[in-house]
Structure 1
Amino acid sequence: MQAENVNISKTGMYNLYFIFCDPQLKGLLVDGTTRWKNPSGYLPGRMAPLMTFYGLMSLAYLVLVAAWMSQYMRFWKDILALQNYLTVIIALGMFEVTLWYFEYANFNVTGRRPIGITFWAVTFGSVRKTLSRLLILVFSMGYGVVKPTLGGLTSKVVVLGVTYFIASELLDVFEHVGTINDLSGKARLVLVLPVAVLDAFFIVWIFTSLSKTLEKLQARRMIAKLELYRKFTNALAVSVVISAAWIGYELYFKATDPFSERWQSAWIISSFWNILTFVLLCIICFLWAPSQNSTRYAYSDEGSENFDDEEGLPLKSGMNIELEKVNAMKPEKKEKKISNTDVFSLNEETEEDKRE
């Protein structure tokens, strides 16, 4: 059969159906191919905006990398382990969005999804999502700030990370690699459900750990670290609220558009998660930007760790000034005052030992 061209003059969602009315044709198999091409290329209309989106995201990550690395190289002597992990996550994010851009660009030119590029884009994304969640979790536990190791929790964190990576990789591979149409509802539900459950588990564990870490920092009066963790907690809380609201909107969007009549704006649903992730990453990078004061957030087992330096120095100086005034006014009670001062210091150490 000779190929036939059908010109489309009106923008819209089109489907091709083969219909027969002759009962004798029951069980007939039709073999052939169809080729769909838009004026801008082979990308389907609902996927075409994604190429531009990932191109812009690549530029955004490039700016973030430039800003982060400028600070990283400037204060490389004061870099913390957590900042090294952040560097890896930023690099993974940049590679991911860049691969997605080239994947859509190649698809737009050839009309076929390049399996190799798509697979690596999916894999980089799964690794980035897994490491991001693990980094937030261990930071919430106080790793590198309040305690030097995770202790017995290390194995549990690793198991959770490996499980999440496998679930996320399976979902993204089946959804993107070599496919154009969305997965069916049942197939997608089977793959989405484990990822959703693991995400919920991450959220609960993260905020539980943050609560304990904040209490510990407040008890030890580590003011600088406490302020950092409060800002970090607020950023996470806002992102969780926004995520929950967007999930509700996504469910509403799909429930009210069963025939994909709003296909021109469907790309926003998936793109939003990339934007939210990037914004949260920028906030974390801002809070943990390399600087000459980075080491004050690092864990230290010295006794001075129990009190924040910024708060401790003025208090100590003030006490010395008051003692000097009292000693000058009442020299005959100098020995008694010194004795009281020693008792006061001993009580502070005792209280600190109790907190520890």
Structure 2
Amino acid sequence: MRRLNSFIALAAVLLLLLHRTPRIEASVHGYAGEIFLSKGNAFVVHGGSEGIYSSAPEFNESLPGVSFIRFENIVFRRPLELSNFSSGSVHTIVFEVDDRETVGGSAYGGQRAVCCTADLAKLGVCTEGQIIHRPSTNNPGWPQVFGASFDVDKTETALQPRSIQITKTGMYNLYFIHCDPRLKEVVVDGKTVWKNPTGYLPGRMAPLMNFYGFMSLSFVVLGVFWFLQYARFWREVLPLQNCITLVITLGMFEMAFWYFDYIEFNETGVRPTGITVWAVTFGTVKRTISRLIILIVSMGYGVVRPTLGGLTSKVLSLGGTFFVASEVLELIENVGAVSDNSGKAILFFILPVAILDAFFILWIFTSLSSTLNKLQARRMTAKLDIYRKFTNALAVAIIVSVGWICYELYFKSNDIYNERWQNAWIIPAFWQVLSFSLLCVICALWAPSQTSMRYAYSSEDADEEFDKDNTLTLIKPSSLTKKDVRSPEPKSIETDNGLSHGDLEEKTE
């Protein structure tokens, strides 16, 4: 009970500290010397992509429930040595993904270009050196295009502050584009504020805030059940149950950190780096320990074998490698991510985690098969029953995981432009629900109780004898008496000619 009270006190202090974290109004997307990259015949800086829900027709940024994109202190800079000429416009273009075909064009069916070429200018569809765009037929007034140009001997030009109201729900994209090769060393500074009706969270991430709040509550309910059982039967607790307690505790902290991460992000527009790192780290530690627990349970540790023997170092090495690879991947995908287009880590970081997960699965099921065979051979009915349920739960989880991975691949391959952003939050949420469900099954199978010790390894498991029916049974060495270990009386052994061994000895004499 003392442990439970200490944990509750620690959690209360943590939540208080998080609640008192200072909030500073800031932009969703900041630009600090962003360099224009060559894309086709244009030079581009991607300013952000977010799903935004529509707001009321009345536009007042101070009112709640208003969606907008606001440009603040956007400045374009060029080197002094390249300031001896006046330039064309450095364009800013904002468009909804359904209107992507209105940006760019091609002459005679050739390669699509963003900047107007000489051939397109001859056709009279655009002005050479300007970006190509046409009015949207579905969204009047879009795409939004404006810009600023450099005067002679000027190294800076500023974009006029403005706000764009969002009256149609969709995935909006912002790009800074120029078509002048002489401006290839231009950089952009400043910030843009993107706001949904409910706050600064991007549309794809917004449902995750409520989801992590729900998951935090679910872990609290599971934790209360587990800790009550733990406190009630603490004398019968197994080492495995201590490990499960650790996983539940880590899960509580992980969900709480994610919830406060999204709360902070939604209120300020800035991703809180410290909270995000803690959320990622707690989650990675939890996943690593969960996999190690499942592996050592599959090996029969504490049930049919007292130690892992020479496998301990290999198990720890696998766990350590998985932790490092998973932590790096999660940090890259989450820390500082403020765009609905972010979170797409390169294959170099995804592959190691996938390979290590596959190795875990292979080792777990190989070990489970061996453990089940041992339990069946020794006729340990209670342990065999719980291991069969555990195996079935793992098999169902693996089948569901493979099916969901296939769906995820299908979803992403058919959503190149993030048009289905409103449903994208379900993909990360599913993995959290699946791991929580498997944890609940493990808690149900190995919950502390009066009979917990019957699943523990004991010295009886090492001694075997055959009973009267020549079946395998287990007894304690201490239960043997002197009479049991006394040498048996010599018996006559019949030979092939009907004479006993004793008769043969008499004849020989």
The two structures have a TM-score, normalised by structure 2, of 0.60
Task: Say if 1:221 and 1:306, in contact at 8 Å, map to a contact too.
Answer: no
Q: How does 1:1-356 map to 2 (within 5 A)?
A: 1=158, 2-22=160-180, 24-181=182-339, 182=341, 187-302=345-460, 345=468, 347=470
CA drift at 1:248: 0.4
Distance 1:349 1:16, change over 3 A: closer
Distance 1:134 1:23, change over 3 A: closer
| C-alpha distance in 1 between matches for 2:383 and 2:314 | 26
| Paired residue secondary structure (2:300) | coil
Distance 1:225 1:256, change over 3 A: same
- In terms of fraction of residues, the more helix-rich structure is 1
CA drift at 1:254: 0.3
Deviations along 1:189-230, whole A, 9 cap, x unmatched?
Answer: 111100000000000000000000000000000000000000
Letter in 2 for 1:275: V
Distance 1:8 1:232, change over 3 A: same
Task: Say if 2:464 and 2:474, in contact at 8 Å, map to a contact too.
Answer: no
Task: Say if 2:241 and 2:448, in contact at 8 Å, map to a contact too.
Answer: yes
| Paired residue secondary structure (1:17) | strand
| Paired residue secondary structure (1:33) | strand
CA drift at 1:24: 4.9
CA drift at 1:3: 1.8
Structure 1 or 2, whichever has the larger Rg, is 2
Percent of aligned positions that are identical: 63
Distance 1:83 1:9, change over 3 A: same
Task: Say if 2:464 and 2:473, in contact at 8 Å, map to a contact too.
Answer: no
Task: Say if 2:372 and 2:384, in contact at 8 Å, map to a contact too.
Answer: yes
Instruction: Return 5+ residue gaps in structure 2 as ranges.
Output: 1-157, 476-509
Match of 2:104 in 1: none
Task: Say if 2:332 and 2:343, in contact at 8 Å, map to a contact too.
Answer: no
CA drift at 1:31: 2.2
CA drift at 1:32: 2.2
Distance 1:215 1:118, change over 3 A: same
Distance 1:17 1:80, change over 3 A: same
Task: Say if 1:222 and 1:305, in contact at 8 Å, map to a contact too.
Answer: no
Task: Say if 2:243 and 2:293, in contact at 8 Å, map to a contact too.
Answer: yes
| C-alpha distance in 1 between matches for 2:233 and 2:265 | 42
Match of 1:324 in 2: none
Letter in 2 for 1:129: R
Deviations along 1:153-182, whole A, 9 cap, x unmatched?
Answer: 000001000000000000001111122245
Task: Say if 2:378 and 2:473, in contact at 8 Å, map to a contact too.
Answer: no
Instruction: Return 5+ residue gaps in structure 1 as ranges.
Output: 308-342
CA drift at 1:303: 6.0
CA drift at 1:130: 0.3
Deviations along 1:81-115, whole A, 9 cap, x unmatched?
Answer: 10010000000011001100000000001110111
CA drift at 1:22: 4.8
Count of aligned pairs: 316
CA drift at 1:232: 0.1
| Paired residue secondary structure (1:66) | helix
Letter in 2 for 1:193: L
| Paired residue secondary structure (2:191) | coil
| C-alpha distance in 2 between matches for 1:251 and 1:287 | 33
| C-alpha distance in 1 between matches for 2:188 and 2:176 | 9
Deviations along 1:271-311, whole A, 9 cap, x unmatched?
Answer: 1000000000000000001110000000011269769xxxx
Letter in 2 for 1:113: R
Q: Which moved more, 1:169-178 or 1:24-33?
A: 24-33
Distance 1:350 1:172, change over 3 A: closer
The two structures have a TM-score, normalised by structure 1, of 0.84
- In terms of fraction of residues, the more strand-rich structure is 2
